[in-house]
Structure 1
């Protein structure tokens, strides 16, 4: 009985040690992709040509994220400006010097369930990883 218990505990610990780094790697890559996409959208949206981030840009962003294996419908976008003006309207772009803010979030999708093997509580299923950025608009009317 004692040897069976030791075997089960050893097997669980061994599984966690083998597979936990893989899940951590997936987490790091997803966070990096999310931040890279945030930076790219801000660079394009705050350029002198646009001054906004509209739904077409968001749709293109979703397709780029899908190419990395993320579920596009699960990505949430929060777009705002630092002065209260609308930051998503192509008819009224943000003037030069206004801050364009973008926060993107994506669920963890049970990446931490393997931590239960060693007694750690996984991240809540409603938690999301986030990427944030702000860039000053360069649009001149």
Structure 2
């Protein structure tokens, strides 16, 4: 009986380690919280060794849903508030409101603007090369621009 209980606990803790390791390989915070639920389930199985497997499985499902909900409701908003560089990996969004010069004219709504040492695709009203434009939005790698008056 004691050996079966240890195997059950090790099974939950092994599942927790596998899920947390999977989170490190493919980050997204989803498997981390399910792994934490598996670890908690291992502790519960240690305290209540006679708990049937079906009850453990149901309790694990409830803990997994609760831990993910806890993350989405409370922890994720705190992490977003502390972000001192919210546009760090969204370079295009940093360009909204900035002015640039067209290196290729906008013809039929498409052209190119010089940004730093490179150029980006631009969409907007037809304008000649050399015109100054302002970025009003970003769609992937295309800047939506308007004529700067």
Q: What's the TM-score once normalised by structure 1's chain length?
A: 0.32
CA radius of gyration, larger in = 2
Higher share of residues assigned helix: 2
Higher share of residues assigned strand: 2
**Greater RCO, 1 or 2 (C-alpha within 8 Å, sep 6+):** 1
